[in-house]
Structure 1
Amino acid sequence: FASADKLRIEGLHHLDEALALKSGAILLTAHFGYGRLIKHLMRLHGYPAWLVGPKVEEKPKHKYSPFAKFVYRKILNMPEFSVNEENDIESNLNIRPLVQKLKNNEILILTADGLRASSLLDVKVIGQIVPMATGSVSLARATGAQILPAFGVDDDEGEIGIKLVIEKPMELTITQNAKEDARVNLQKFGCILESYINRYPHLYRWAKANFFKKRQQFSKVDVADRYAGNFKGKKGFTKTTN
């Protein structure tokens, strides 16, 4: 996309060090900032990166803010909306493709607060309860891959005002209690996300009406419905993003 070569990447050495361990790497992000840039920047720089998420075949009903539209259309020359590409992996109950990518020492990009997951745990972020998927921490536990938080944020020093930040690998808690470990480790990510929200509050989606309430409600529906995004007609629900 346009101007991609002018975007700075901070912490790329963290990713290189993780890949040197030959167990792949997980870039963990959230519905915050310019997350759509992560996959494109990784592949532009020659990294085998795969976005894991729900299958998308048609334009969603939600709309970006005027500022986000300006960034994607005018600065980056990107479409406001992208359907699944060949380097995307659909999130479903079959984790074998994900494990294989990590065994191949490739990169998975996962969204921690994506709701189309088989298992969700509540995490506190900025005083709110945010459901988060356990997939990233479960994969890391099973494969030895490191988790590196990654966010696209504003850049006061860069030429076009946007940068990708890759944090150092998370120090994961691993005991005999896998579920409690998942909760603890996701809360660690929640604290990192909170630090970014505090620095860049305008990049979070909390301005959306009933944002936290709706996501908590959707996290309680059946797994099959969550994967399908099927919550039309359920009392109290309206269409949300993944």
Structure 2
Amino acid sequence: MTVPALVCFAALALAGCSDDDSDSSAADPESGTSEEAAPEPESEPEAAEEESPAAAPKEVEVTPPGTKLKIGEQAVVPYDRAGATGHIGITVTGVSDVDKAAFDAALGENGDADITPFCVEYTIENADGSDLGGSYPPDLVGTTADGGETGATVFGADVEGCAEGVAPDEFAEAGASYETKRLQGAGPGAAVAGASYEEDDYEDKPIVWTP
């Protein structure tokens, strides 16, 4: 009776091993059966790159009305034209002669034989980083060497070599600059040697550049 009992125990043990192997093979990825894989989480769409906000205009020190400067020195003034506002730097860089015949032709009926033409040359700089793209420069007025009146003022005329410039479209960063010119004239016995800025708050006390 001992032998059959041992055989029975062994059979049961073998059956138990068989059940364990069956369970482990179902979980084994290399077995014939496979568990259904869980779906991978959908990746979140990449957030759209946000444009960095434009930098706020920086504070600048404005040149007081009535300031006297030398040619080559800069004045900083408020700018407000056609919806463009900010601050600009103005530097008169020189005054040059203009061909009289070309000047008379440009003025036509408004020409005057007694007026001697000159070209005021200056640079405009974006002082505070405001968007001033496409803006027009201020109109400077010619002065004598001591800052006085020249006896003649020219408006709205250009000649070859002395034409008004316009700010480029990307004129929106502090330090950006462009060159421009202004046709002016002097009466008999006078000459244009400097310039003045007489707009807005500077009408009664202009900023004046002299040699």
TM-score between both structures, scaled by the size of structure 2: 0.18
Bigger-Rg structure (1/2):
2
Higher helix fraction (1 or 2): 1
Higher strand fraction (1 or 2): 2
TM-score between both structures, scaled by the size of structure 1: 0.17
